[in-house]
Structure 1
């Protein structure tokens, strides 16, 4: 008689866990579809949206590094790097700083670079087209 109760407990438990996993999968799938739809939505500008990689908006990144937001994909990357290096070094945990703040500063720099990178690549491509293909030749000694 005990085997019947044990079998029923196992079957009911399996059924409950199966339904829970199925529901969790449905929610995860819906969440990822929503995130993809939000990433594709918008009016072509990515400045107000959160980057999927860094989890930070462009405005937040600019406020952290205290720089102006990129205009038309153009930003003063020298100023960004200068501010990044100064803030990153000042928040070194060995000097009594915060690892959390260091990581926020790093993510802010990465977010701004992600915003500016396509425009920089396009400008480099156009410059190469203007100059023509100039391969680097290495001679053996």
Structure 2
């Protein structure tokens, strides 16, 4: 009699676990498909680690978006330092807001750096490759 009860418990438990694993697999598959579709549709203007767009970053720091990959980095740094210091958790500020401000600055710097690299690459293509030669004395 005891072996019958134990076998029913084992069978019922394995059914429950099997269904739970199947549902978890379905959810993981669906989220992977969603992430892949979101990755294809994006224009590449999101910062991968935080999902922060350039527009959001500019709104957080209250600076105009870079035009042609150039912006006033002194103004960005000034706003960053002021907002970062105002939101210091030791002074009663918010660590979350401080983190957002830091990510916004990093996002703008990334955009400017990528635009500068692209401009340098295009300039090199127009002028031709001119290697820098260093001579020993």
Normalised TM-score (structure 1): 0.74
- Alignment match of 2:58 (pick from 50, 57, 62): 62
What do the CA deviations read for 1:55-107 (whole angstroms, capped 9, x no partner)? 22322221110011233443333322221122112221222222111111112
Q: Who is 1:77 aligned against?
A: 73
* 1:90 maps onto 2:86 in alignment: yes
CA RMSD of aligned residues (A): 2.9
Q: Who is 2:112 aligned against?
A: 116
SS of the residue 1:38 aligns to: helix
Q: Who is 1:100 aligned against?
A: 96
Q: Who is 1:21 aligned against?
A: 21
Q: Unpaired runs of 5+ in structure 2?
A: none
Normalised TM-score (structure 2): 0.76
Q: Unpaired runs of 5+ in structure 1?
A: none
Using a 3 Å threshold, how does the CA distance of structure 1 residues 110 and 124 change in structure 2: closer, same or farther? same
